[in-house]
Amino acid sequence: MKKIFFILICFSNTSFFAQELEKSKEERLLASRIPEWVLPIIEKNGLEKLYIISDTINPFYLEADFNGDKEVDIALFMVNKESGKSGILIIHRKTNMYYIIGGGNEFGMGDSMTWVKNWNIYRGKNITSLAGGSKIVSLKNPAIRIYKTENISAYFYWAGRKYKTFNQVNKKMI
């Protein structure tokens, strides 16, 4: 009876070990460096089958209350496994909802963020166009700013039901 129980335990864990072996050493290392509440959401939604967390940008994730629910959310830089297109995965901690910007999905500056050289959390109250234009967006919560240069950037901010994009390109650059 003990031998059968032991064999059953071994076989029941085989799929777990096979899944772990499929992941590269880099994937396992990056997964171990994110907050522990994030991985179960990624796995529950099957996102690890579609995307790889990327550390090509530093830091490779950002934390802030992006949607204003008083819980810290996370944004991870990632790459679509099928297309190789990079983007951002945002997970709201309180609701476990996730949003993908780029990574094969159009966001106003293409569908990939391979051009992104840096990103950060923007905590200002307004975003304005760089060329002195009249377009202004008021922010209630922190936004994510991605940029290639000081003259080419985009902001992603929570607009109540979804993320919106504000592209900021200096007209002198066009």
C-alpha to C-alpha distance for 149 and 172, rounded to whole angstroms:
13
Assigned domain for 90 exists: yes
Q: Which domain holds residue 70?
A: 22-173
Assigned domain for 5 exists: no
Assigned domain for 17 exists: no
pLDDT of residue 89: 97
User: For 64-92, what is each residue's pLDDT tens digit?
Assistant: 999 999 999 999 999 999 999 999 999 99
Assigned domain for 166 exists: yes
Assigned domain for 45 exists: yes
pTM: 0.80
Please state the domain count of the chain.
1
Assigned domain for 9 exists: no
CB-based burial of residue 136 (10 Å sphere; 0-12 exposed, 13-18 middle, 19+ buried)? exposed
Reduced DSSP (H G I as helix, E B as strand, rest coil) percent helix, strand, coil of the chain, to 5: 25, 35, 40
